[in-house]
Each structure stands twice: as structure tokens, then as C-alpha cells.
């Protein structure tokens, strides 16, 4: 009771009276600056530059993958050609155009004999082999193809494969990505001619 009697009685205030100063202060506050939600020109240029660099890196990486894939596919095709040429020799008893003297074909046309072969140059000049005769069931000899499809006589870059017989070493050659033949390696004919050559070489007898 003493505490209550000694306590000072505060004047009563209404809720509206207590909130009025706070309300007035809130209205008096003004934003100091205007917010911006756009990009500056410098930021846009930085983003565009970054996207361009990423695109260059991606294209460069894909080019490397494509080159490796083309080389791998060409080597697989050359291995299949070697098998087809060996079968040709088992049937005909020689590799395409191997017995011609002088040679009827250049090296790029010899592989075509796997698709079609004839012993008559008058009727079939584009697919001629002096020792190529049609298949005989009696002797089990002769051309018994086609040994490959026509699409299989060119490498991944669209250049026809070469078939050469230097020093009795038959070999298949792809010109590579530059589509140019760098010649024969005189030290080892089963290898490209020099370290700078992109030719792909496969010997038939190895």
C-alpha cells in the first residue's frame, strides 16, 4: 500500500497521442538516393567479352576432338581395307594392279579395283586389272567382290587412299588433313615421310 501511495500518478495518454510523433517522424524521412536496377555499359562489355572467350575456347576444343576422331576413323578404315586387299589377293592371286607392267593405274585408282574389277580394258577402262578375271567356281579363283563399298575408298577428309608397291612393300596411304601426299619415307616405308607429315601409312604385310 505504501508503494502505491508514494508512486506518482502519470497523466493518461491516448494511443493516438503516443503514436502521433512516431508517425510524423516516419513521414519526414526522405530517401537519400534513387535505387538503380540496370547494368552499366562497362558491365555489359565485360559479360560480352567473357562469353566471346568461352565460345573461342569451346570451338577450339571441338576442333581438336574432331581431328582426333577423323584420324581414328581413318585408321580403322585402313585396317578394314587391309583385310579386303588380303582377301582380294587370296581370290585373284595378287593385289590390285600389282602385276601390270607398266602400271595401268596411278596409286589412288588401285583401291577402286576392290569395288569393281575387269580383265577387259576395252569394255571397262575405269576398273581394269590385267590379271583380274571373274570368279570361277571350278578353280575357286578370280574376282569375287565387291570387297568394300565405294564410300570406303576415301579417307575422312575425302581423299582417295593410295595403294603403292615400292620395293615390294605394299602399303595404304592416307594424305591426312592437309590432303597432300608428302612422299615415301626411304628409311621405313611403313612410316610417314618426316615428322611434319600428317600422312597415315599402313603396310599390308605387317
List, for residues 104-144, the tens digit of each pLDDT value.
567 888 898 899 887 777 777 767 787 788 888 888 899 99
Alpha-carbon torsion, ordered 184, 157, 89, 103, to 10 deg:
-50
* Grid cell for residue 83: 583385310
**For position 129, what pLDDT does the model report?**
81
Q: Give the residue ranges of DSSP H helices in 7-93.
A: 15-28, 41-92
Q: What is the pTM of this model?
A: 0.65
Domains of the chain with CATH codes? 70-203 (3.30.700.10)
Half-sphere exposure of 109 (CA within 13 A, CB side): 11
List, for residues 42-89, the tens digit of each pLDDT value.
777 888 888 888 877 766 666 556 678 899 999 999 999 999 999 999
Question: 172 and 81 in contact (C-beta within 8 Å)?
Answer: yes
- How far apart, in whole angstroms, are the C-alpha atoms of residue 201 and residue 163? 10
Amino acid at each position: 500500500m505504501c508503494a502505491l501511495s508514494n508512486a506518482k500518478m502519470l497523466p493518461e495518454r491516448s494511443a493516438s497521442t503516443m503514436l502521433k510523433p512516431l508517425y510524423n517522424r516516419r513521414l519526414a524521412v526522405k530517401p537519400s538516393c534513387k535505387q538503380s536496377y540496370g547494368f552499366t555499359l562497362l558491365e555489359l562489355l565485360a559479360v560480352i567479352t567473357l562469353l566471346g572467350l568461352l565460345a573461342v575456347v569451346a570451338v577450339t576444343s571441338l576442333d581438336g576432338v574432331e581431328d582426333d576422331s577423323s584420324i581414328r576413323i581413318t585408321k580403322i578404315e585402313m585396317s578394314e581395307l587391309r583385310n579386303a586387299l588380303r582377301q582380294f589377293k587370296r581370290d585373284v592371286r595378287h593385289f590390285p594392279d600389282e602385276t601390270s607392267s607398266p602400271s595401268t593405274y596411278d596409286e589412288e585408282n588401285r583401291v577402286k579395283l576392290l569395288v569393281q574389277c575387269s580383265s577387259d580394258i576395252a569394255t571397262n577402262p575405269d576398273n581394269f586389272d590385267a590379271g583380274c578375271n571373274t570368279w570361277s567356281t571350278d578353280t575357286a579363283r578370280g574376282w569375287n567382290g565387291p570387297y568394300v563399298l565405294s564410300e570406303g575408298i576415301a579417307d575422312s577428309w575425302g581423299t582417295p587412299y593410295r595403294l603403292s608397291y615400292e620395293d615390294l612393300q605394299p602399303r595404304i596411304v592416307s594424305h591426312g588433313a592437309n590432303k597432300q601426299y608428302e612422299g615415301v619415307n626411304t628409311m621405313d616405308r611403313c612410316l610417314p615421310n618426316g615428322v611434319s607429315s600428317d600422312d597415315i601409312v599402313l603396310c599390308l604385310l605387317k
